[in-house]
Amino acid sequence: MIDYLTTALPANGFTVPVADQMVAPECVVLYRVGGADRDQVTGFPSVILEAYAATNTRASAILRRVFALVRDLYGRQLGAFMVYDVQVFRGPSSDPKPPADLVRYSAMVAVAVRMNQTV
């Protein structure tokens, strides 16, 4: 998803880095927090989506676009995987206690993916 969002966000008007840890004051952070495999070829990872920015308006706008792009993955190919479901556990919301003077918005989703090719 990091590679997908790194390409999709600029195409949607948001030029911010995307990584699995905070790399800049304004950025998107994704990391797996759980989930389980359904079988030998289908995974259902739970992923936290976070957007950091200097203002509520900017953090909210970034995260809402990330959230929309992730939800749009349903039925699409993502690298070697087909996305069969995107389940929302928590939609975009302000998330208190960000580092320093930043604002953090976050969401939590689970994405069902199935391997489409042999690696």
> All domains of the chain, ordered by start, with CATH?
2-115 (3.30.2000.30)
Whose tokens are 């975009």? That residue is 92
Identify the bridge partners of residue 45 per DSSP, sorted by sequence position. 35
* pLDDT the model gives residue 103: 79
Q: Check whether 119 has a pLDDT greater than 60.
A: no
- Which secondary-structure segment (H or E) carries 67? helix 56-71
For residue 118, what pLDDT band results from cuts at 50, 70 and 90?
Answer: low
Question: What residue type is assigned to position 97 of the chain?
Answer: K
What's the whole-number mean pLDDT along residues 82-97? 87
For residue 102, what pLDDT band results from cuts at 50, 70 and 90?
Answer: confident
**Residues in contact with 3: Cβ distance below 8 Å, sequence separation at least 6, in sequence order:** 79
Q: Check whether 6 has a pLDDT greater than 80.
A: yes
Cβ neighbours of 14 (radius 10 Å): 19
